[in-house]
Amino acid sequence: MNTKPYNLYSSHLKQRFGGRVHKISIDAGFSCPNRGATRDRPGCLFCDPSGSGSVGIEQALSVAEQIEAGKDVMVRKYKAKHFLAYFQPFSNTFAPVERLRSLYDEALAVEGVVGLAVGTRPDCLPPEVLDLLAEYHRRSYFWLELGLQSIHDQTLSKLHRGHDYAAFLEAYRGAKERGLRVCVHLIIGLPGENREQILASAEEMARLGIDGIKLHLLHVLDGTGLGDLYRQGEMDILSQEDYVTLVVDMVERLSPHTLIHRLTGDGPRDRLLAPLWSLNKWQVLNAIDAEFRRRGTKQGSRFGG
């Protein structure tokens, strides 16, 4: 049962499958339009050269082998029975349909895998790929995780994203026309964005009625364009207090029905330049819960206001 003041994704999964469902991250060898086919271009300003969430993934293994390795850990630690195969690093629809189908089928064929989560960018979802994803939505428990980061074109341009908000809307509408569940990723603390702009992104997600959301703290990593700006003293870093306040402000504005997939994250310790307070993830999550209690509010308190 969910005891949080927000609509927790993990609680939804327990209700849906009768127990915990564990996500296993997979690196299937994809790249993205910004980095090119061989991942040798700089990419977005904040992008980790090894790909978001790639820490601990054994990239030399096949998709099935990566899942089996992840299962071994989850079964040993949690006696897990159900798993989602999460195609995470880079853009996991940036390939011909035939290759996508082969890799997704390989993941679903592993015993215990009940569904897929596929992370990608708005400019990697042509109609034929969306049609393919709709097939997996019909035959399994499926989520499309769509990296947006901000609704503001000026911010997207600064980040070297290579697409604008209109591209996101086109991809999102195409996904919803096909009935897909969509989880949108936003980053809090992007260079040049003020509080009003950050909250505007949340309010727009509320207007769209998105199915799920991941809120990310901006991590400044060594080896990125953002890291260079940080070392040159050209960007401000949020304090934990300011981040917690913004997260609660945003969640209060979301629809009560939107599933909260993530409220923060921790970057790779060996490459994290700032903010160092983010290394204590549970401290941040506990502070978010405490702020909701202090205000006496919950998700959706300001929805439609």
Q: Quick one: pLDDT band at residue 51, thresholds 50, 70, 90? A: low
The answer to whether residue 300 scores a pLDDT higher than 80 is yes
Confidence of residue 52 (pLDDT cuts 50, 70, 90): low
Residue 253 lies in a domain: yes
pLDDT over 90, % of the chain = 86
- Predicted local distance difference test score (pLDDT) of residue 202: 98
Average pLDDT for 24-44:
86
Q: Is the pLDDT of residue 240 over 80?
A: yes
Q: What does the pLDDT read at residue 266? A: 84
Q: Is it the case that residue 63 has pLDDT exceeding 80?
A: yes
- Output phi, psi for 291, to 5 deg: -70, -40
198 in a structural domain: yes
281-295 helix and 240-253 helix, angle to the nearest 10 degrees:
60
Rg value, the chain, Cα: 19
The percent of residues above 70 in pLDDT, for the chain, comes to 97
Tell me: pLDDT of 250 over 80: yes
181-188 sheet: strands from edge to edge: 21-26, 82-87, 113-120, 141-149, 181-188, 212-217, 259-262
Mean pLDDT of 196-213: 98
* Strands 220-221, 259-262: pairing kind: unpaired
Q: How many domains does the chain have?
A: 1
User: Is 300 a member of any domain?
Assistant: no
Mean pLDDT of 14-20: 94
pTM (2 decimals)?
0.95
* Inside any domain, residue 3: no
Tell me if 302 is assigned to some domain: no
* Domain annotation covers residue 266: yes
Domain that holds residue 268: 9-295
CA distances from 122 to 5, 17, 44 (A): 30, 30, 14
In a domain, 249, yes or no: yes
Q: Residue 55 has what pLDDT?
A: 56
Q: What is the mean pLDDT of the chain?
A: 94
The domain spanning residue 89 has which CATH number?
3.20.20.70
